[in-house]
Structure 1
């Protein structure tokens, strides 16, 4: 039996958080830099209407997600974690991207037990269903929702999520740090 149930977001969490910037800048004829991305929602960053972004995304989502680069150490850390823990990817991606997302994870040699493509940013119910021990996330609002529901959250640092944290959220800066913290959580859970 495995020890912890680790839930992991995909976009911006295992991938570069600014993966969408080049293609979006080009499409909307903008010159936004990574440093200027201080909001999570792309349409707000770009200064456009939600509908404009939705139309762009619908036309370009496969290309956008195909070009995403994996953060440093992700494969190695998740492989190590998978030996002791259940790995569940829980993403807000559009449900039409389910098979694409399975293929993306496989192509990038990322080990996991299951994938849940929710089509919504609300992840609390899925975390409860999975008996989540720790949730790794980059979206500040999701982190707050999950932590308020009693889940321990590791919030991977990005320009758009630097707001005050509560006691259930730990800000992390890389996947080696995530590995270290999860090992500490495992030791704490065994001590109880």
Structure 2
């Protein structure tokens, strides 16, 4: 008998399942810079690289496929997600555009990363998708998303620690440094839900 799925976990892709530093070498190459990941104190990389939002959008439009193909896995995310797959509902909700679905699914397949759904919403506003899928918690690296999701849905959000998301956090947002840390926190949440 198949075990009942305990948690529906909303999971961002870029900077959460992929390494948050993976965009920096590509942008350095394109814009002739020598910035380090640690220099990226702002989520908006147009400001970090001193280019316009339009220039960044054009760059992402032209380089998105390469970025999404070459991005390495963030730590041991692949192993942990494989362990969760039979117990939890894994719903990836990403700002990537729908036209990048094939390259996204190829990347998931290459790293053997399991999923139940992949929802490419094409915008940083993931609230409607998170509501539609009924997520119980969310894994994210963008501070603004974490704040919106935790406040609107009253769910815990695990925010992966990066140079660009430093801020004081409300009680429902938990800063995490590694996927092992997330794994432990999910086990605690799981126990709390199953013992009710």
User: Where does residue 159 of structure 1 map in the other structure?
Assistant: 163
TM-score, scaled to structure 2: 0.95
The answer to whether 1:181 aligns with 2:180 is no
User: Where does residue 93 of structure 2 map in the other structure?
Assistant: 90
- C-alpha distance in 2, partners of 1:127/1:120? 13
- C-alpha distance in 2, partners of 1:67/1:128? 31
User: Where does residue 19 of structure 2 map in the other structure?
Assistant: 16
Q: 1:58 aligns with which of 19, 36, 61?
A: 61
Written as runs of structure 1 = structure 2, the 5 A alignment for 1:61-72 is: 61-72=64-75
Deviations 1:39-76 (A, max 9, x none): 01111111110111111111111111111000121111
User: Where does residue 191 of structure 1 map in the other structure?
Assistant: 195
Conserved in 1, the CA contact under 8 Å of 2:69 and 2:104? Answer: no
The answer to whether 1:74 aligns with 2:74 is no
TM-score, scaled to structure 1: 0.97
What is the CA-CA distance between 1:184 and the residue it aligns to? 0.3
Deviations 1:69-122 (A, max 9, x none): 001211111111112111111100122101211111111110111100000111
Runs of 5+ unmatched residues, structure 2: none
Q: 1:170 aligns with which of 169, 174, 184?
A: 174
SS at the partner of 1:170?
Answer: strand
* Runs of 4+ in structure 1 over 6 Å off: none
- C-alpha distance in 2, partners of 1:5/1:26? 38
For the aligned residue pairs, the C-alpha RMSD in angstroms reads 1.0
- C-alpha distance in 1, partners of 2:60/2:94? 16
Equivalent pairs counted in the alignment come to 192
- C-alpha distance in 2, partners of 1:162/1:148? 18
What is the CA-CA distance between 1:26 and the residue it aligns to? 1.5
Q: 2:107 aligns with which of 104, 109, 133?
A: 104
Runs of 5+ unmatched residues, structure 1: none
- C-alpha distance in 2, partners of 1:75/1:56? 28
